Amino acid sequence: MIIMNDWEKAYSNGFLVDTEKPSEVIKLAENFFPKSGNVLDIGCGNGRNTIYFAKKGCFVDAIDIVDLDFLKEIPKELLSLVNFKKISCLDYSFTSKYDIIIMARLIQYLTVDELDLLFKKATSSLKKKGYILLSYSATGKMVYEKYGVNKYNHPLSLILNFVNKYNLQVITLKEGNKVGVHLSYKEDAITYDIILQLL
């Protein structure tokens, strides 16, 4: 018998992630990326941001607790640049050093304690002056009822506490208001796109 985790169930029940364009936060940060480098995409989903950086010539470690098998869709020449692993970010070893760590629409699914652990591990694995590209939705009950995945509404102040605690600085912070394709409620959600840099 195959036992699915909550996220595998959510995807098999029709949970959708964007497939085409990279995340807004990546477009915001485009101007100051290194030409090449090492990237970690945490909660990569179907790999839209992973593919974006691989196309730029970066080496990308991509992790997610679901294997959406996106590697079979990507151009063959990019395969040597992408290393996907099915694992929770809470169990990942973070042994490499990265120029950029992506957390796109991930942190609203982690508890405060899990988030603290993630920031601790991620910042210890970031090169000096390296970036964390973070986007999340801070309001709304969203996916729980429809897909059975817990969603937490972390206030911006919590993220800013982690910024101080883990020696980061805010480079860009953009507040938005959007309704995602998979939202199961009608209100708009407050979203944040945040570029952080390790001091």
Ligand X SMILES: C[S@@+](CC[C@H](N)C(=O)[O-])C[C@H]1O[C@@H](n2cnc3c(N)ncnc32)[C@H](O)[C@@H]1O
Given the complex with ligand X, which of 4 and 170 has the nearer CB atom? Answer: 4
Q: Are 8 and 66 in contact (CB under 8 A)?
A: yes
Name the residue with the smallest CB distance to ligand X.
45
How, if at all, do strands 38-42 and 59-64 pair? parallel
What is the nearest approach in angstroms of ligand X to the Cβ of residue 100?
A: 14
Given the complex with ligand X, which of 66 and 138 has the nearer CB atom? Answer: 66
What is the nearest approach in angstroms of ligand X to the Cβ of residue 132?
A: 13
How, if at all, do strands 126-137 and 98-104 pair? parallel
Given the complex with ligand X, which of 30 and 199 has the nearer CB atom? Answer: 30
CB neighbour list of residue 184: distance below 8 Å, 6 or more residues apart: 142, 143, 145, 146, 147
Given the complex with ligand X, which of 69 and 169 has the nearer CB atom? Answer: 69
CB neighbour list of residue 192: distance below 8 Å, 6 or more residues apart: 134, 135, 136, 138, 156, 159, 173, 174, 175, 176
What is the nearest approach in angstroms of ligand X to the Cβ of residue 182?
A: 8
What is the nearest approach in angstroms of ligand X to the Cβ of residue 27?
A: 13
Given the complex with ligand X, which of 85 and 129 has the nearer CB atom? Answer: 85
What is the nearest approach in angstroms of ligand X to the Cβ of residue 190?
A: 16
How far apart are the C-alpha atoms of 30 and 5, rounded to whole Å? 34
DSSP SS3 for 78: helix
Which residue ranges make up the site for ligand X (CB under 6 A)?
7, 17-18, 23, 43-45, 48, 63-66, 88-90, 104-106, 109
The single residue listed with the structure tokens 């470690």 is 61
